[in-house]
Every structure is written in structure tokens, then in C-alpha cells.
């Protein structure tokens, strides 16, 4: 399974509305997440022992309401514009899964 399909699969599994079908909530429990193809190159022991360094560490302040790591967007959805062809193409991969 290539990385993009594995990513789509793990996200869809974790966001499954029906809890009986949700990744990690079935017979194998959390092992279903740990053994998912998306994580095949991840050494879980290193993660649990905190030996793995994240590729990105966001800068956060001590302010509990710090939203500086989130994109700003127009909250009025009526003013949203249609996606460009390039933007639409980035979602084509998800169509294959559904």
C-alpha cells in the first residue's frame, strides 16, 4: 500500500462514525492502529521510550488561547470561492477510496 493510500485508510478508519467499525475499536483493539500499513516504518518502542524526534515541533506560547498555528479563514462560508482545478486534483485520491 503506498503512503498516500495508507494515509487515507488510517484517517478514514480513525474517523469512522460507527464505533463498531472504527479503527482500534474492533477485535484487535489498539494493535490494529499500531500495525496499520501507514505506520510500517515507525518503531513504536522508540516512540514509547521518547527516542523518536518529531519532524515538526510547532511553536506555542503559554497562552491557552494561542491559535497562531492555525490558518486564518473567512468564517462567512457564503463568500467562499470554488476550488481551482489544481486544488480539486489534490482530492482525487480520496475519490478512489469511497
How far apart are alpha carbons 7 and 5 in whole angstroms? 5
* pLDDT tens digits, one per residue of 25-78: 999 999 999 999 999 999 999 999 999 988 888 888 888 888 888 888 777 767
Backbone φ and ψ of 58, nearest 5°: -70, 145
How far apart are alpha carbons 4 and 12 in whole angstroms? 12
Give the pLDDT score at 91: 81
pTM, two decimal places: 0.56
* pLDDT tens digits, one per residue of 5-26: 999 999 999 999 999 999 999 9
Contact (CB, 8 A) for 20 and 26? yes
Amino acid at each position: 500500500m503506498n503512503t498516500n493510500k495508507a494515509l487515507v485508510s488510517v484517517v478514514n478508519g480513525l474517523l469512522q462514525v460507527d464505533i463498531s467499525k472504527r479503527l482500534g475499536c474492533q477485535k484487535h483493539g489498539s494493535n490494529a492502529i499500531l500495525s496499520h500499513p501507514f505506520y510500517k516504518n515507525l518503531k513504536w518502542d522508540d516512540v514509547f521510550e521518547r527516542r523518536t524526534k518529531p519532524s515538526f515541533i510547532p511553536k506555542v506560547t503559554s497562552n491557552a488561547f494561542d491559535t497562531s498555528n492555525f490558518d486564518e479563514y473567512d468564517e462567512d462560508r457564503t463568500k467562499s470561492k470554488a476550488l481551482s482545478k489544481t486544488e480539486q486534483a489534490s482530492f482525487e485520491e480520496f475519490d478512489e477510496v469511497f
